[in-house]
Amino acid sequence: MKDGYLLSRSFLSVAETEHWRQRVESRRAVFRHVAAKAGMNLSYSVMHGHQVQDELPDLFDLVQGRLHEALQDAAGQPLALMRDRKRAVRIQWYRRRGEGFRWHLDGGMYSVLLTLVNTNQGATQVIPPHWSRFLKPVPYVLFPFQGLLARAPTTVIESRPGDLLLIQGGAVIHRGTNDRSEGERVVLVASFDPVGRRPTPVWDWLARRLNY
């Protein structure tokens, strides 16, 4: 994963993707809207990890099975779901142009993003590893200077339904965007850490405050 990410097109078949889309659709009432807070995050809707495990246990099994295996193979080391199970697995739903994620680093070192719906040209933008190391303080400590990130080179990844994006989200700065007001984007996200990674309590506290 030398570029910080790997895109697997058509990881799921059309039939599999439609099956999981319908499963998620059946639990739309569970999603909670998360408002923007202090300008540090954008609004979106989410079903967090505890809810996914309770409401969609078969989807949780997919995360722990095929998605875990694909990510572990790409990372080249043993991985385990992030300790904070509420944040480790979530389904994110974007319905408006203003919804998404600002530039950030993930709480887990590696993440998978499985796209189930994308009818609003939603995309993930990634800053290369070298630039991300240099700019690491900007999304948080130097938040007022986020304009610096606009000067960095980026890769825009527009995933189609069934595509799986594997990303070293704890090391490369990235964000989620939506170019259209019409349509929606539904993404299953799961975050993993190398086995034995030490806890990061301060980081975890900040992430819970911003994301839920």
Of 86-95, 136-145, 183-192, where does mean pLDDT reach its minimum? 136-145
Q: Whole-angstrom Cα distance, residue 171 to residue 128?
A: 9
Mean pLDDT over 53-72 rounds to: 98
pLDDT at 90 over 70: yes
How many domains does the chain divide into?
A: 1
Any idea what the CATH number is for the domain that residue 203 is in? 2.60.120.620
The domain in which residue 184 lies consists of 5-211
pLDDT at 133 over 80: yes
pLDDT score recorded for residue 141:
58
pLDDT score recorded for residue 143:
56
Q: Whole-angstrom Cα distance, residue 157 to residue 165?
A: 9
pLDDT score recorded for residue 145:
61
pLDDT at 27 over 80: yes
